[in-house]
Structure 1
Amino acid sequence: MNSRPLTEFIDRLTSWRIPWAEVMVIHRNETVFRYRSGYSSLEEETPIEEGRIFNIYSMTKIMTCVAALRLVEQGKLLLNDPLSAYLPEYTEMNVRKRLPEGKVAIEKAKRPVRVRDLFTMTAGFSYDIGSPSVQEVVERTEGKVPTRAFAEALAKEPLLFEPGTRWNYSLCHDVLGALVEVVDGRRFSTYIRDEITGPLGMHDTCFDLSDEQQSRLIPQYEYNDKLGRPVRKDGNGYRIGTEFESGGAGLLSTVSDYALFLNALTNKGTSPDGVRILSPAMVDLMRTDQLTERMQGDYSWEQLTGYGYGLGVRTHVSKARSGSLSPLGEFGWSGAAGCMAIIDPDSRLTVMYAQHLLNNQEPYVHPRLRNIVYASL
């Protein structure tokens, strides 16, 4: 692999506005490139080192979907099941309807929320963690908000549209975590540990850190345009309760740790050591585009041009529109502070990119990073 273009790109990012950037490239189960640049602490000018822990935010969603798809493989769930078969609070849902004169009415939903709607972001939820019902459960549980209680609270909020008709990035995967709890019987974090992270040897991927892990948590920043520099902004705003295990944005990890999980998916669900977390058939279904033409219009983020949306992941569907050098079927997702996963079973390529900047410059960084990696192979 020609490493120079990728090294220069990472250095350019950290000399620009991103305090720390790191990339790990695995090809055919061998690490062919690993590079990090910048500071873990800008204030102390501490060089970034191995083993630092950071918020992966929405890259949690990939693992949450894998956790739930395992239950589908075991026949404990079907994608077309009504969600209410497992979470009865979703039996009768309300939906906001905009009337011709511009007023908004609350009506009974005509379609049920189905399990597949949680995977595909088509349930009709928003991403409003400040909604009245969510705030009520925060107060009622005295700041604990167990994952199951969160799902019960969200069911009280009117949907933005009829389930299964549109796409909207939302709290779907947080409800999916609660669904795993109900169907399996274990706490969501316990299920994740027992079925995925433990068997894969991922010792630094979790919702709650030990004291030792806390000492390795890297500072988080947000770029301040007025000051012309990043400013410290620690914490995870999506963690609304001490017992809330957010399937959408709650995990913390390291570059090396999460790469183990991603590479297992690159290998069609089985790690190089033989640990199977999904079947090849399910990995292929996961990366199959689920969007209708109407939904594709909602899925309009600049950096996702030429991509569809599978069961919780972006998936490459058009080279002509994306301008991406990756093959069709390359898939993955990203996180609020800028990390990104590239999972490519056909090329047997895994890329784990990490940074910790909240206004993350994703439309600039991610498409360029992807093309540089593929051009360098």
Structure 2
Amino acid sequence: MDFKPLASFIDRITSWRIPWAEVLVMHQNDTVFRYRNGYANLEQQTPIGDGAIFNLYSMTKIMTCVAALQLVERGQMLLSDPVSDYLPEYAEMTVKKTLSSGEVRLEEATKAITVRDLFTMTAGFSYDIGSPSIQEAVQSTNGTLPTREFAKALAKEPLLFEPGTHWNYSMCHDVLGALVEVVSGRRFGKYLQEEIIGPLGMNDTAFDLNEEQQTRLIPQYAYNDELDKAIRMDGNGFRVGTDLESGGAGLLSTVSDYALFLSALTGKGTSPEGVRILSPASVELMRTDHLNDLTRGDYSWDHMGGYGYGLGVRTHISKAGSGSLSPLGEFGWSGAAGCVAIIDPDSELTVMYAQHLLNNQEPYVHRRLRNVVYSCL
């Protein structure tokens, strides 16, 4: 294995517009390469170092789906169950229907939202965090908006389509977090801590940081094309309540910490130390393509060509379609500030890549990163 090309790639993107980047590669349970470059703090020219904590954003979704799959394994719920069996506010939903005249009318939904719909982004939700019902709930809870109250608020918004009939990237996994909370009888964050984070020895992954961790939370940036430079932009806009443990975008972590979780999935649910968080059967179900004739056309992001969508993850289904050097069945997801997971049980390969830049250049960086990694093996 020669990882010089991967180091060169990291050097190239950090000299371009990514303030800092780090990649960790594990093969057959050993860390075979780790490299970082760039500045954690551009203004002070502080080099990126060990233990940097950053927003995972949507890479939270992978852990949320693992948590929910644990409850499926234990027989506490089924993918086919109506969500309203556990969250009653989803029993009677309305759907926006656009008539031939262009008029938009609200009608009663004829299909029930299922647990599977939450996993697969087919429930009919949007990603409008500023919707009236959510903003009202923020105010009525004095800015706290706990996870369970968030789900109740979202249920007041009309669906964009009948559940199961389209794919739309949305707040499905935030509702899935609330579902885990209700079914398990524990706060979502507590459940993650007790069932995944703690057992795997992850000491720096949480929705809320302690004082020491706060000192390691590094600046976040957004690239400004007009000024041709990255501008500091801290905070997590998806966390609209102080008590909202967002299953879609709320976790913070480090490269080392989240790699522990990803490597357990590469091990088909069991960590190198023997801690089992899922069965191999569940990992297979997770990385199975769940798109169908109704939903496949909606999953049309250019950089996801050749990939299907599983239970909260992209999954490689066509080398011809992707142009990717990774094998079929490679899976994972990414986050709004640019981190990405590559999980590959068949090659026994785990890649944790991190950066902290909104408008993250994902279509450019992630596909190239993946090809460079596999070319180095």
Same fold flag (TM > 0.5): yes
| 1:207-253 deviations in Å (ceiling 9; x for gaps) | 00001000000100000111111010000000100100000000000
Q: Report the Cα distance in structure 1 between the residues aligned to 2:297 and 2:241, rounded to whole angstroms.
A: 34
Alignment pair present for 1:133 and 2:128: no
After the TM superposition, which residues 40-189 of structure 1 pair with which residues of structure 2 at under 5 Å, given as runs?
40-189=40-189
Q: Which amino acid aligns with 2:222?
A: E
Q: Secondary structure at the match of 1:97?
A: strand
| 1:118-174 deviations in Å (ceiling 9; x for gaps) | 000000000001001000100000000000000001000000000001000000000
After the TM superposition, which residues 208-219 of structure 1 pair with which residues of structure 2 at under 5 Å, given as runs?
208-219=208-219
Q: Report the Cα distance in structure 2 between the residues aligned to 1:3 and 1:86, rounded to whole angstroms.
A: 48
Q: Report the Cα distance in structure 1 between the residues aligned to 2:48 and 2:85, rounded to whole angstroms.
A: 48
Measured after TM superposition, the shift of residue 295 of structure 1 is 1.1
Alignment pair present for 1:190 and 2:178: no
Alignment pair present for 1:251 and 2:213: no
Q: Which amino acid aligns with 2:178?
A: A
Q: Secondary structure at the match of 2:15?
A: helix
Q: Secondary structure at the match of 2:246?
A: coil
Q: Report the Cα distance in structure 2 between the residues aligned to 1:148 and 1:68, rounded to whole angstroms.
A: 15
Identity %: 74
Which residue does 1:334 correspond to in 2?
334
Which residue does 1:302 correspond to in 2?
302
Q: Report the Cα distance in structure 2 between the residues aligned to 1:295 and 1:316, rounded to whole angstroms.
A: 17
Q: Report the Cα distance in structure 1 between the residues aligned to 2:207 and 2:274, rounded to whole angstroms.
A: 26
Which residue does 1:354 correspond to in 2?
354
Q: Which amino acid aligns with 1:151?
A: A
Q: Report the Cα distance in structure 2 between the residues aligned to 1:184 and 1:347, rounded to whole angstroms.
A: 34
Which residue does 1:289 correspond to in 2?
289
Measured after TM superposition, the shift of residue 308 of structure 1 is 0.3
Q: Report the Cα distance in structure 1 between the residues aligned to 2:282 and 2:135, rounded to whole angstroms.
A: 36
Measured after TM superposition, the shift of residue 346 of structure 1 is 0.3
Q: Secondary structure at the match of 2:238?
A: coil
| 1:301-341 deviations in Å (ceiling 9; x for gaps) | 11100000000000000000000011110000000000000
Alignment pair present for 1:22 and 2:22: yes
Which residue does 1:367 correspond to in 2?
367
Q: Secondary structure at the match of 2:369?
A: helix
Measured after TM superposition, the shift of residue 3 of structure 1 is 1.1
| 1:329-360 deviations in Å (ceiling 9; x for gaps) | 00000000000000000000000000000010
Q: Report the Cα distance in structure 1 between the residues aligned to 2:203 and 2:297, rounded to whole angstroms.
A: 40
Q: Report the Cα distance in structure 2 between the residues aligned to 1:154 and 1:223, rounded to whole angstroms.
A: 31
Q: Report the Cα distance in structure 2 between the residues aligned to 1:295 and 1:113, rounded to whole angstroms.
A: 15
Measured after TM superposition, the shift of residue 55 of structure 1 is 0.1
Q: Secondary structure at the match of 2:337?
A: coil
Q: Report the Cα distance in structure 1 between the residues aligned to 2:303 and 2:315, rounded to whole angstroms.
A: 12
Q: Secondary structure at the match of 1:143?
A: coil
Which residue does 2:344 correspond to in 1?
344
Measured after TM superposition, the shift of residue 294 of structure 1 is 2.8
Measured after TM superposition, the shift of residue 293 of structure 1 is 2.4
Q: Which amino acid aligns with 2:345?
A: P
Number of matched residues?
Answer: 377
Structure 2 residues without counterparts, runs of 5 or longer: none
Q: Report the Cα distance in structure 2 between the residues aligned to 1:72 and 1:185, rounded to whole angstroms.
A: 15
Q: Secondary structure at the match of 1:199?
A: coil
Q: Secondary structure at the match of 1:200?
A: coil
Q: Report the Cα distance in structure 2 between the residues aligned to 1:259 and 1:253, rounded to whole angstroms.
A: 10
Moved over 4 A (4+): none
Q: Secondary structure at the match of 2:357?
A: coil
Q: Which amino acid aligns with 2:219?
A: P
TM-score, length-scaled by structure 1: 1.00
Q: Report the Cα distance in structure 1 between the residues aligned to 2:245 and 2:171, rounded to whole angstroms.
A: 12
Q: Which amino acid aligns with 1:340?
A: V
Q: Secondary structure at the match of 2:166?
A: coil
Q: Which amino acid aligns with 1:239?
A: R
Alignment pair present for 1:319 and 2:322: no
Which residue does 1:204 correspond to in 2?
204
Q: Report the Cα distance in structure 2 between the residues aligned to 1:47 and 1:91, rounded to whole angstroms.
A: 52
Q: Secondary structure at the match of 1:293?
A: coil
Q: Which amino acid aligns with 1:365?
A: V
Measured after TM superposition, the shift of residue 276 of structure 1 is 0.3
Measured after TM superposition, the shift of residue 299 of structure 1 is 0.5
Which residue does 2:273 correspond to in 1?
273
Larger displacement relative to structure 2 (285-294 or 21-30)? 285-294
Structure 1 residues without counterparts, runs of 5 or longer: none
Q: Which amino acid aligns with 2:174?
A: D
Q: Report the Cα distance in structure 2 between the residues aligned to 1:203 and 1:178, rounded to whole angstroms.
A: 23
Q: Which amino acid aligns with 2:357?
A: L
Q: Report the Cα distance in structure 1 between the residues aligned to 2:108 and 2:49, rounded to whole angstroms.
A: 54
Q: Report the Cα distance in structure 2 between the residues aligned to 1:26 and 1:8, rounded to whole angstroms.
A: 19
Q: Report the Cα distance in structure 1 between the residues aligned to 2:302 and 2:236, rounded to whole angstroms.
A: 25
